[in-house]
Amino acid sequence: MKNYNEIFLMVLNKVSQYNKCFTIKDNILYSTDNKQTLLILNHLDINFITLKCCKIDDNDLKEHFIKNEFLKFAYQTKLMSTLKRTFTLLAKSGIESILLKGFAMNRYYPENCTRPISDIDILVKPVDKIKSINLLINEGYRIVHPEKLEQHLESYGEVNLLAPDEDISVEIHWDFIHTKSYRKSINYNSEIVFNEKIPITLEGFEVNTLQPELDLAFLISHHILHHQFKRPLWLVDILLVISSSPLNLTKFIEFAKNFNLEKPIYYYLNAISNLFPEFLTEDILYLKKMLLPKSYRYHFYSKFTPPHRIFIIGNKIIKFKEKLFRNAFK
């Protein structure tokens, strides 16, 4: 299996073939103005992955990256401090919570590698969403868009708050799948998720997170249905989960079917098989066989977005993919 650096650069090279916001040629990264570029550069730098050089066209982006170099490690410290404070507040109020993404992903990364993190994502049960938000507001957290709170509570499945003092973004989720691109927030069976949570320790602090099988189902569905493949870092996460430890395939299939995620997961695994054949294993072939959609609607719409097109960006493309997935994955 390829090492972490090879996986990350392999993903970047593949994505750059179809995503014109950045290009890698002869180990040189050429970039125009794009938000993902900053994340890519930070990821490369924080894990000591070197390119020959980096040529950034946009001066604002270049200045942002330079400034962030000095704030990067201090910011990670602030994130961890906010994580500990927030989870402690929720626990003292009797609110069960699960850490999503972010720091929880580091367990899949090789030793001495770090996943860049920009915010904290916390899952609570739908029944606890109002209690959680009110609790944090009373402790000095501020809602980012208070004028949209009702809309978020009804349809978005999450609310974004800023922690006091540090202004660290804390997102409270209550829709586990959180696929606003093709359906409204739902009251999923939270017991399935919370009964399967596992503890991990972060810098001496214990939090609950998802077990690998549920983590993989969540990452795939969130990347394809919420972000429409816009973030290559998520693809790295998913490839690392697949390759880092043996999965309980029966349990993974059970999760996929419980949340009606067979179609998006099959689509994603099929894309990985086509784009990254070096990751094609007997396990992935088995999962594809067991999750193969029988829907004519899915097969009709999936023809319009073959794997090599998933990384293409642009407003028209995003709207097209939202419509495609909304219809194909019902």
Please write the tens of the pLDDT for every residue from 132-167. 999 999 999 999 988 888 877 877 788 999 999 777
Q: pLDDT confidence of 318, banded at 50, 70, 90?
A: low
Q: Which CATH architecture has domain 76-210?
A: 2-Layer Sandwich (3.30)
Report the range of poorest mean pLDDT among 5-19, 55-69, 157-171, 178-192: 55-69
Strands (E), the chain: 22-25, 28-31, 53-56, 97-100, 120-124, 142-143, 158-162, 169-173, 197-202, 205-210
DSSP state for residue 133 in the 8-state scheme: H
Residues of each domain in the chain carrying CATH 3.30.460.40: 76-210
Between 231 and 170, the higher pLDDT residue: 170
Cα separation, 202 vs 168, whole angstroms = 18
The 3-state DSSP class for residue 27 equals coil
Which pTM was predicted? 0.82
pLDDT surpasses 80 at 6? no
pLDDT surpasses 90 at 236? no
Burial of 159 (0-12, 13-18, 19+ CB in 10 A): buried
What's the average model confidence in pLDDT over 249-274? 90
pLDDT on residue 54? 47
